[in-house]
A and B are shown apart, each in its own frame.
Chain A
Amino acid sequence: MKQALEKVLQDNPLLWRGGEISKATAEGISTGYEMLDNILPSRGWPVNALVEVVCPRWGIGELQLLLPALIKVSQQSRRLIWIAPPFVPYAPGLLNSGIVMEQAIVIPEEKVTTSASWTMEKILKTQSCGIAMSWPKRLQDKTVRRLQLAAETGNSLGFLFRTVEAKSSAAALRLRVTSSAEGLQIEILKARGGGRFKKIFLPQP
């Protein structure tokens, strides 16, 4: 009976236990944007969790959203890992914004080929990684669940960037990011431990 229950919990991303909410409401890493912190249940990026960011295409400002957290984590001597990014992270730009470059590690797409999810899972499971970011081409719901579990066992924050919005996802937090003339529009699609799903605008710098 217990096994069957575990299996259902394991396979169905729509199901999650109520007990996980208390974990999710623990203090997170500040996003660096007060408006965004205010609407997130953990008052920042959730710790030891997977965050899914859905945006129509790359380069609209989705990395800008992460930048304050990246800076803070790198300054704590924890690693930032780009897994199969769509473009090359520009070192002078990152340095100028305050990221400690010794912590910046890139695994280029041509090296990862089909193992992006595997790589992400391995990295999330380690204790020494700060933030892992991945841009997977295709992703099954089951894989997202695995990554979420990996993030929970490890000590890092995982970001999944996707262009298509799946019906459901096991990620602890899901955001949709779109750019508009006024700024970046952020819509919370799902947040563990909170029902206040809101839409905000972050003005462009």
Chain B
Amino acid sequence: MPSRNLALPLILSETPTLPEVANAPVEEKNSALWLCIHLPNMPLEILNLKNVENPQCVLTEVAGRWLIHTPCELAADRGVASGMALNAAYALCPDLQVYRRTLLQEKQQLKQLADWAYQFSSMVSIVEPQSLLLEIQGSLQLFGGLSALLKKIEESLLTKWQYTLQMAVTPTPLASRLFAQIGKSIIVEQSSGLRSALGDLSINTLLLDDHKTVKKLAKIGVSTLQDLWRLPRDGLARRFGQALINHLDKLLGDKPDLQHLHELPLIFDASVELPMEAANHKSVLIAAEKILQGLEKYLRNHDAGLTQLFVRLYHYDHPPQNLSVGFRQTTRCAEHIQSLFQERLDNLKLMAPVTEVRLMVKEIIPFVTCSDALFASQTLPVVDLLPANAKQLSDPDWESTLEQLQNRLGQQAVLQLQVVDDHRPEHAWAYGEPLPCGTQDKAELRPTWILPKAKHLIVRNGTPWLRGPLCFLQGPERIESGWWQGDDVCRDYYIARDGDSSRVWIYRDLKQRDCWYLQGYFG
């Protein structure tokens, strides 16, 4: 195999590459290749400190004591090491500047890094506190080989974040982590080469959770992994427990080592720059159309839908304009989204010519479809065949119309008319969500129109006047109610015919003298 000493100095690849034939079972077994990216100085580097002339370090609190976690290069040169007590560090380095570790920020940073790493591999796993694992075997062909891929990853990471990197590539996740953690940049492509590559390492680096085992091993004269492998397996298991054996098996790839894969958060954010500034809605719509098609594809791939779309229109010398399009049901149909977007856009006044259109979906939800009727046809009166409440529940046609109306006219525009249990006429109706129906006295005749605020009527010769003298047909009906709300009414209601011979509903306010009001029409 030709030497590939580009990004990493040491290459161990003992088995010569076999000619690519289908019957190469040894090759097939090595299907995975894990890259570990370790950021040894992340706790310090994440603080983004400017002053680098003084020695600095990050502290952690362990059992009430402050210990050095990550010293900077300058401090390390003067003897400050990780795990040292703060006082000891001050003794070595009196001008040491200390900072508390920001674990939460580190976690967020790792998540961001994992999102970023998704471009190189679909299997990304976060290893807390400061490493990432990527399965890269599947990406080799796409990126043109291992060295090209590693170079690309390193470049991409360093242009975005200035972190000290330690990388290692081996067939098992644990071995990669181990090498990366001790800062040994190594590429081992075959699992047969793994044993000899690991052999020289000290057992302290083994990443065992149990420190006692390491101490015990040291006592019996085991200092490197090579020593460990020389010991009989069953004896080792009896003396140190199965956990150690499992750990070693995972290290060499004899046992599967399952990783928690990082999942990309579901958000959609895409923008398109217009070829030239556009002052009309149509160009904006055409630009958005392209993104919407991508959005539909994206949503279909995730089997998801959206209920709200945020749109931002950028201008050359104006702050961007925002608008949001709401959907009553989860949708992913580009055509549908576009039609509603168009409605909203038509109502928007563009402050300035648009240079860029950006579409964002902040919440992507699992898509639930509702089935259409198999034999639905426009000409057939399907409506009458269905029971009334079944139709109410699944009425996609009405829902989509409602959606369009609400988008253009506002969320509170389409209102359900209701009866409220109240004797006062102006309080006996309401708009809003369906309430339990009032128990109205059916005997009384009520008009079909009401004036929410009654109109004062003039009085001529003692008779109320509306386009002529009012002629009483029915009444009076006394309505006296509402005193407990401080809005008490005391009225005598009449049905009368006005000068134009249409029937009206009027009342006389008994609390005032000779005051007549028009309440409604029997229109």
Contact = CB atoms under 8 A, between A and B. Distances in A.
Interface of A: 57-64, 67, 76-79, 82, 85-97, 101-102, 104-108, 111-112, 115, 118-119, 122-123, 125-129, 155, 179-181, 204
A106 B522 CA distance: 18
A203 B429 CA distance: 29
Interface centre among B388, B405, B445, B523 (most CB of A within 10 A): B523
Contact of B520 (A87, A126, A180, A204): A87
Contact of B419 (A91, A97, A180): A91
B445 A96 contact: yes
A111 B418 CA distance: 18
23 contacts: A58-B449, A59-B522, A62-B523, A64-B523, A77-B388, A77-B391, A89-B448, A90-B447, A92-B425, A92-B440, A94-B448, A96-B440, A101-B437, A105-B416, A106-B431, A107-B405, A115-B408, A122-B405, A126-B397, A126-B401, A128-B383, A128-B397, A181-B501
Contacts of B415: 105-108
A58 B521 contact: yes
Nearest to B502: A60
Contact of B451 (A82, A87, A94, A127): A87
Contact of B449 (A88, A123, A125): A88
Given A59-B504, A106-B417, A179-B501, A127 B446 contact: no
A133 to B, nearest CB: 12
B383 A93 contact: no
Given A59-B522, A95-B437, 10 more contacts: A63-B448, A77-B391, A82-B417, A87-B521, A101-B437, A105-B415, A107-B415, A111-B410, A123-B405, A127-B378
A96 B442 contact: yes
B419 A101 contact: yes
Given A92-B440, A123-B401, A179 B500 contact: yes
9 smallest beta-carbon distances between A and B, as pairs: A59-B521, A93-B446, A91-B429, A59-B523, A111-B413, A90-B450, A77-B388, A60-B502, A128-B398
A174 B263 CA distance: 64
Query: Which DSSP category, helix, strand, loop or mixed, fits chain B's interface?
Result: mixed
Interface in B385-418: 388, 391-392, 395, 397-398, 401, 404-405, 408-410, 412-418
B148 interface: no
Contacts of A79: 398
Interface residues of B, number: 52
Contacts of A87: 449-451, 520-521, 523
B434 interface: yes
Contacts of A104: 416-417
Nearest to A204: B503
B429 A92 contact: yes
Secondary structure call for the A interface: mixed
B128 interface: no
A62 B414 CA distance: 23
Contacts of B521: 58-60, 87
B194 to A, nearest CB: 68
Interface in B502-523: 502-504, 520-523
B519 to A, nearest CB: 9
A107 to B, nearest CB: 6
Contacts of B351: none
A107 B383 contact: no
A107 B425 CA distance: 21
B428 interface: yes
Given A101-B417, A107-B413, A179-B501, A93 B395 contact: no
B303 to A, nearest CB: 28
B395 A90 contact: no
A60 B523 contact: yes
Interface string B439-464: 01010111111111000000000000
B444 A96 contact: yes
B384 interface: yes
B409 A180 contact: no
Given A92-B440, A107-B405, A128 B395 contact: yes
A180 B502 CA distance: 8
Contacts of A86: 449
B144 to A, nearest CB: 55
Contacts of A59: 449, 502, 504, 521-523
Given A60-B523, A107-B414, A88 B448 contact: no
Given A59-B502, A88-B429, A111-B410, A64 B522 contact: yes
A92 B444 CA distance: 10
Contact of B383 (A78, A88, A180): A78
A59 B521 CA distance: 5
Given A63-B448, A78-B383, A93 B501 contact: no
A87 B500 CA distance: 18
